[in-house]
Amino acid sequence: MGLRAANFQISAVSTPYGGHIGITQCPGRKYPPALGTGFEQSLIRDVQAIRDFPAAILVTLMEMGELDWAGPALPELSAVCAHHGMRHLYMPIVDQDIPDIHWEQRWLTHGPELHDLLRSGSNIVFHCRGGRGRAGLAATRVLIETGEDPVSAMARVRMARPGAIETLGQEAYLLGLGVKF
């Protein structure tokens, strides 16, 4: 399962609950001229693709400063999600890194909410800038929390989204998890 709308792709991973986890790049992502292009994706079209996945919630894993130069402003992203009938959750992780203590504290509340959505058959979508490192990490974490072996969970996420879980630190973090919801 996966969805592709123009240049926007959502990779899907099944869960034992019935709901799916989507992994994608930043909706409305900007490609600055310094990267060789001035291209900017359509935020509305991308959020419509996420809604059509169909997602109940979009989880943003990018930091505020990163959104400023590579994506839409956070209030704009939240407003477009709300307009399309989706919840939006902001849980930033530093690019190429693992969750910090503040993220882990927020996960104590939001992790169970995401698992509840999946149990009800709803789909969730994680995004970071490119849809690989942080989004792959978060998707894998959810699978591990359902009881899946970390190695198997990482392999399934990487099969759905090649290049997911980008660093050895992210791999080590995931291998160290053993929590179930």
Residue 155 lies in a domain: no
Residue 175 lies in a domain: no
Residue 38 lies in a domain: yes
How do residues 73-126 score in pLDDT, each as one tens digit? Answer: 999 999 999 999 999 999 999 999 999 999 999 999 999 999 999 999 999 999
Residue 7 lies in a domain: yes
Helix locations, 18-149, DSSP H: 43-52, 64-70, 74-83, 101-119, 133-145
Query: What CATH number is attached to the domain comprising 40?
Result: 3.90.190.10
Range of the domain at 78: 2-131
Residue 47 lies in a domain: yes
| 56: helix, strand or coil | strand
Residue 66 lies in a domain: yes
DSSP 5: E
- pLDDT of 132 over the 70 cut: yes
| 2: helix, strand or coil | strand
Residue 92 and residue 101: Cα distance in Å, rounded?
12
How do residues 31-87 score in pLDDT, each as one tens digit? Answer: 765 555 555 679 999 999 999 999 999 999 999 999 988 889 999 999 999 999 999
- pLDDT of 5 over the 80 cut: no
One-letter identity of residue 113: E
Residue 26 lies in a domain: yes
Residue 160 and residue 126: Cα distance in Å, rounded?
13
Q: What is the domain count for the chain? A: 1
Residue 98 lies in a domain: yes
Residue 127 tokens read as 């995004």
The continuous run of DSSP H or E covering 173 comes out as helix 168-175
